[in-house]
Structure 1
């Protein structure tokens, strides 16, 4: 196993599903961490510069729109018809249950 900056990376000879899991974790970190840092630093930058009015407009929009989740948000028929996430969730749950349960008591999970 290769070690870079204290992180153990899986070798390239691993099965494809293991490599995809590693890629998913890497993508999640590379997308989540910078966006979080940017989202925490940007408001302070906007408050102390001449661009504070952008933050004021956003705050007014936030106050106006804060009850939309209780009212149903903004429904999208395209997202509601999408079945990719449902299939992915079902497959991953079946795989986890089959891996964790003993061989005698396998249960087929259907959503």
Structure 2
């Protein structure tokens, strides 16, 4: 599944969480908590072309974290955008990605980290 963000350079692979009514709120609250603990600021939540889907963007130091909710496939997807033009990955966004993978590997019993 490929989601394009106009004008943005996505970095890393998406982190994909299958969700259902029982765990959607828990996953979203945990992602928000992790973002807050890492000093990311929430920006305006927007809908996508499919009106039941939305994306919440958080801004960090030289990177953005995008949390997508895709209702038709019951999926939460996390992507990062590095806002610097350097070709290498922003260490702060990579660290946050690793933290999210570790937390949700424990929480969901699914392996997100090698």
Normalization by structure 1: what TM-score? 0.27
Name the one with the larger helix percent.
1
Larger Rg over CA atoms: 1
Normalization by structure 2: what TM-score? 0.26
Name the one with the larger strand percent.
2
